[in-house]
Amino acid sequence: MAILLIGIVLFGFDWFYEEFLIVKNKIASVWKSILFVAAQFLTLGYLFISGPFADPFLLRALQLAGFLLGLWAVLVMRIGHFNIAPAPLAWSKLADHGPYQFIRHPMYLALLLVTLPLILDSYSLTRGSVWLVLVMTLLFKMEYEEKLLISSLPGYSAYTGRTSKLIPGIF
């Protein structure tokens, strides 16, 4: 647990510094980004340490699908070209192939697919509530991120018209 907290603090400092350089003089944007990322990491951390990993085969298969989707999204986006914060990096380019040809936020869907089986296998009101906080955090983060992407990436607005946000063909 201590290692996780130290990692979050160190990562948070590095991320904050990078974020501040990219979004100069927009302290409100930086703090909003920090809050989204903090909420995301706190909920994920709680879900992973508060109960057992999913046991039945179908739940593990769902987790594996989420892991593979996340890996595919990272490989398509390329290491160093994505940001855990909603603010796009200065060198960001529109990714519209791989999973991004179907949905705009495959990494968020991957997080939900990996964590949902944790809740289904070992449900408690607290764990279910924390998962819902994670879902809401990701939904609000997506909205904020898309506003930033529309204003900074040429073609992103048109891209939103031909892809789903999170679930292909549905949402």
Report the CATH number that the domain containing residue 136 is assigned in CATH.
1.20.120
Asked if residue 167 belongs to a domain, the reply is no
Rounded Cα–Cα distance for residues 1 and 7 (Å): 10
DSSP-derived 3-state class of residue 23: coil
Is 171 among the domain residues? Answer: no
Q: What total of structural domains would you count in the chain? A: 1
Strand stretches in 32-161, DSSP E: none
User: What does pLDDT average to over the chain?
Assistant: 83
Whether residue 12 is predicted with pLDDT greater than 70 in this model: the reply is no
C-beta separation of 106 from 72 below 8 A: yes
Instruction: For residue 170, tell me if it sits in a domain.
Output: no
Confidence check: pLDDT of 7 > 50: no
Parent domain of 144 = 2-162
Per-residue confidence (pLDDT) for residue 41, from 0 to 100: 87
Residue 112 lies in a domain: yes
Do the domain assignments include residue 168? no
**Confidence check: pLDDT of 19 > 60:** no
Residue of higher predicted confidence among 51 and 58: 58
Assign 122 a pLDDT band (cuts: 50, 70, 90): confident
